[in-house]
Amino acid sequence: MKFSRIAPEFDALDRQILELLQQNCKQPLAAIGEKIGLSAPSVVERIHKLEEAGVITEYVAVLDAAKLGKNVAAFIGVCTEQPRATGSLERRVAQVEDVLECHHVTGAFTLMLKVKTQSTASLENVIQTIRSLEGVTRTETNVVLSTYAEHQKITLHHLQQSDSRPVRRSGGSRNRRAAK
């Protein structure tokens, strides 16, 4: 794995580690190593490099919002007065309870928010809170009726392969060395 200031280059083992961590980041590192042909210390070293490069930013539990009483999902488009104040507004919006995502977007809105809340009444409170923020001129809310797909996993097949081709280690090579 080579990391430049522009974009990191990943080899096949890095991609496999990232895929496995996205499936279950609590699995033992030795189990990841077994699946990809590396020792646990080698997996730890690669994960550390991915963390240092900012590729892995955090480890979280993905929760079922509906089972926790957050049954109403909505997208809120936010229009603002001054584009210069967008950064400040983004930081304030990100602190509003039940706002899961805040994106600066093109089109009719300046910001697009993803919200999950308990009820339409609590959604109304979130909307009022956002509308009361300085710089917000208008909001438009779309309530989600049902969700077919909601993924957290990032596909990795598009990543550049670095020139170095890692060699898969097998127990056989160690045994041959020990026999000499």
**3-state secondary structure (DSSP) of residue 14:** helix
The tally of CA atoms less than 13 A away on the side-chain side of residue 95 is: 6
Give the model confidence (pLDDT) of 111-150 as tens digits.
Answer: 999 999 999 999 999 999 999 999 999 999 999 999 999 8
What does the alpha-carbon distance between residue 144 and residue 152 come to, in Å, rounded to a whole number? 18
pLDDT greater at residue 171 or residue 101: 101
Provide the whole-model pTM: 0.77
What are the tens digits of pLDDT across the range 83-94?
Answer: 777 889 999 999
Neighbour-count burial of 89, counting CB atoms closer than 10 A to its CB (0-12 exposed, 13-18 middle, 19+ buried): buried
Q: What is the pLDDT of residues 94-116, one digit of tens each?
A: 999 999 999 999 999 999 999 99
pLDDT above 60: residue 5:
no
- pLDDT surpassing 60 at residue 1: no
Closest CA to 11 of 56, 51, 59, 46: 46
Tokens of 142: 């779309």
Task: Please tell me the predicted confidence (pLDDT) of residue 161.
Answer: 56
